[in-house]
Amino acid sequence: MLRGQHAERSTVVATTVYLGLGSNVGDRDGHLQQALQRLRAVPGVEVVRVSKVRETVFVGDGPVQGPFKNAVAEVRTTLPARALLGVLKAIEQGAGRGLDGARNQPRPLDLDILFYGDEVIDTRELVVPHPRWHEREFVLEPLRELGVDTVARRPAPRPVVIEPPAALSAQVATWRSGGCTIGLVPTMGSLHEGHVSLMRAARGECDRVVATIFVNPLQFGPKEDFAAYPRDLGKDLQHCARAGVDAVFAPATAQMYEPGFCSNVDVGAEAQGMEGGQRPGHFRGVATVVARLFALALPHRAYFGEKDAQQLAVITRMTKDLGFPTQIVRCAIVREPDGLAMSSRNVFLEAGDRKACTVIYRALCSAREAFARGTRDRDALVQRAREVLASEPRAEVDYVELRREGDLQPLPGGTVDGGRLLVAARFARGSRPVRLLDNMSLAEVEAP
């Protein structure tokens, strides 16, 4: 080196990190102390301060289990967040915790990164700030003891609401880069327990869940109820939060369909007859909006209810034909106690029509019971449902059809070995007509 020349030295900056410590198996205090000792022995880690240890009852889902000993440690570290996570997992394993065990089980040691400086990390393995830190008093109290302003750090409410399509794509790209599987639940809002069941199914199978709330004008005919379709975003967000949804995509129509938008998706056989006959152009609008949502969200799985069985068949065909790498997940119909299939349009039913519309469920059950007793003639099964529907003067039947399971193609007359019976009927005695859809598999018994 030449005289007077200075070597450049890189400065590694330490980050202040807050760690949650917990134990409810074995020598709980001993497990916490040993964890701190092992942390102090790690190069690049300095344990600055530790809160007092508190005993708390178990909080969360899981089996009944004993109380925890909890504390929070303030740490200074030069390790990246993911490297620190690896250290914590190794310390947990050293204390006897199995790394492949189910969540929320009794455990000798639980170490969580609550905050890693001001960084926001959202991957499959690590979410920082910890997603539930602000819900746990056994975390909040020790943090305040260590001088953390928990009010200033309180996160924005979940789910996050996204409006621009580009922002949805960016969020999904971040999750995918972190190894997350994405579950998509497309809806038009006015959410009910049927929608919530789809979101919960997605929550149980995917790392991140996106629900969409968009009343799609392309699937409404000129004389249909687009303007009157019920909308209540605030209430819908409450349902999404309760179901554990991570993000809600709620764009304006102009954001989904910019000026000059002219591309549409047509689906063939699955869109023929029934709703396709009653509502020309409806399934073109459905397939187009779902294809656009799939392109924006790139979901690994998408969740649809069986109540709209023909829509499900159309989307399944479209997904296969266009090569979207998305698994379509069929979810069972959710019903009211009297059998009425949950629908956003049920809110428009006045008292008399609300009572009368249960005839649809009775008609479906009657045909299924006839099938169970040995009736196998297609037309006889359809007629059985029609007779029950005819007993209710308020019901104006659009169609009753028995179709093949899955793709809902027409079944030939004569003997059948099953199939799905589909009904559409209007109830128009109230101040506004309400059109309801329902269906039932003849060969499958619905869960209670």
Rg (alpha carbons) of the chain, rounded to whole number:
28
Catalytic, 195? Answer: yes
Phi, psi of 366 (to 5 degrees): -65, -45
CA distance 131 to 112: 11
Two structure tokens written together for 250: 């709620």
Other beta carbons within 10 angstroms of residue 431's beta carbon come to 7
Helix and strand numbers (H, E) in the chain are 14, 16
d(CA 386, CA 93): 64
Q: Give Cα 24 to chain centroid, integer Å.
A: 31
Is the separation of the CB atoms in 307 and 327 below 8 Å? no
Q: Which residues contact 412 (CB under 8 A, 6 or more apart)?
A: 378
CA distance 154 to 124: 22
Report CA-CA distances (Å) from 138 to 49, 67, 231, 320.
Answer: 17, 12, 39, 49
d(CA 327, CA 341): 25
Nearest to 19 by CA among 45, 43, 44: 45
| 8 Å CB contact between 16 and 74 | yes
SS (H, E, C) 336-396: CCCCCECCHHHHHCCHHHHHHCCHHHHHHHHHHHHHHCCCCEHHHHHHHHHHHHHCCCCEE
Q: 143: helix, coil or strand?
A: helix
Task: Give the burial string for 167-194 (b: 16+ CB within 10 Å, else e).
Answer: bbeebbeebbebebbbbbbbbbbbbbeb
Enter the tokens of residue 321: 């034909």
Q: How many CA atoms lie within 13 A of 242 on its CB side?
A: 13
Look up tokens 């492949």; give the residue. 100
User: In degrees rounded to 5, what are phi and psi of residue 305?
Assistant: -85, 150
Q: Which of 31, 130, 134, 195 is catalytic?
A: 195
* Residues with active-site annotation: 195
